[in-house]
Structure 1
Amino acid sequence: MIQFVNSKNENLIAAKLEGKISTSDVELIHSRIDEILNSNQKVDFYFEMHDFHGYDLQGLWADIKVDNSHLSDYGKMAFVGERKWQEWAAKATDFFTGSEVRYFDLKDKEQAKQWINL
C-alpha cells in the first residue's frame, strides 16, 4: 500500500509504503512521474517504509518496466526504512541509476526529509 505525503517541492514524490506494493500502486507513482516530467524536471523520491514487505509479483514487474523507461529522469532518492534488506535495495538502486541515493534508518527520518527538501 502506498500513501502519498504532501510536499511543497513540486518535483518530489513523497510516500509512506506499507505491506506490499501492487501494480495499481506503481501506476499511481508512474502517473506522478509523468506529471513531473511534463514540467521538464528530474523526479526526486522520498519513500518511508513501515512494515514494508516489497512488491507482489505483478507490482515488481510493473516497477521494473517504469524504472527502465525513466532511469535518466530520476534525481535524488531518500529511502527511509527499518530493515537491512531495505538498505541493500537502496544500494542496488544507487548502483543501477545515475541518481543520488541515500538510505536512512527510520529513527533518522527528519534528517532524510531535510536532505530531500520535504
Structure 2
Amino acid sequence: MLATFDLAGHVIGLIIDKDLTDEMLQKIIGEIQEKLDVYEKINVFVELEKDRHITLKALFKGIKFKYSNAENFDKIAIVTDSAIFQNAVNLSDTFLDVEVRTFDLKDRLEAIQWISL
C-alpha cells in the first residue's frame, strides 16, 4: 500500500508498506507528477517501512525518473533501514544537483524536519 501526505504545500510524503516493485513505483511517480502539476519545485519524503525491499527494476526506473526530473526537485529524504537501498540512493545521487539524504527509520522525525524546510 502507498500512503501519501502533505507536510507543506511543496512537500509530498510517501510511505510504502510493501516491497517497492515497478508497479508501486508507477503509483509513486503518479503522485509526484500530480504535485509537480501544482509546484515547479518540490521536496519528496519517501519512507520504506521495515523489512521492505526494492526490486532492481524499480530501483533503476526510480533513478531514471530522478535524473529526468532533477530540475524539479529541491530535496529528497529517503527513510529506510535497508542498507542496500540507502547505498544505491547515495551512489546514484552523486551527480545530481539535488539535496538527497538517507535516514534510518528511527530518525524519521529528523527527516521530516529536514525535508519541511
TM more than 0.5:
yes
Q: Distance in 2 between matches of 1:62 and 1:98?
A: 19
Query: What is the SS of the residue equivalent to 1:46?
Result: strand
Quick check: 1:53 aligned with 2:53? yes
Letter in 2 for 1:39: V
Q: Report the more deviating stretch, 107-116 or 10-19.
A: 10-19
The alpha carbon displacement at 1:64 in A equals: 4.1
Within 5 A, what are the aligned runs for 1:1-118?
2-50=1-49, 51-55=51-55, 57=57, 59-117=58-116
The alpha carbon displacement at 1:111 in A equals: 0.9
Mapped contact 2:10–2:42 kept (Cα < 8 A)? yes
Query: Quick one: percent identity of the two aligned structures?
Result: 28
Query: What is the SS of the residue equivalent to 1:85?
Result: helix
Q: CA RMSD in A?
A: 2.4
Q: Which runs of 5+ in 1 are unaligned?
A: none
Q: Report the more deviating stretch, 105-114 or 2-11.
A: 2-11
Q: Distance in 2 between matches of 1:32 and 1:103?
A: 20
The alpha carbon displacement at 1:55 in A equals: 2.1
Q: Report the more deviating stretch, 37-46 or 107-116.
A: 37-46
Distance 1:21 1:41, change over 3 A: same
The alpha carbon displacement at 1:61 in A equals: 4.9
Q: Distance in 2 between matches of 1:60 and 1:72?
A: 20
Query: What is the SS of the residue equivalent to 1:79?
Result: strand
Q: Which runs of 5+ in 2 are unaligned?
A: none
TM-score for the superposition, normalised by structure 2: 0.78
Q: Report the more deviating stretch, 34-43 or 71-80.
A: 34-43
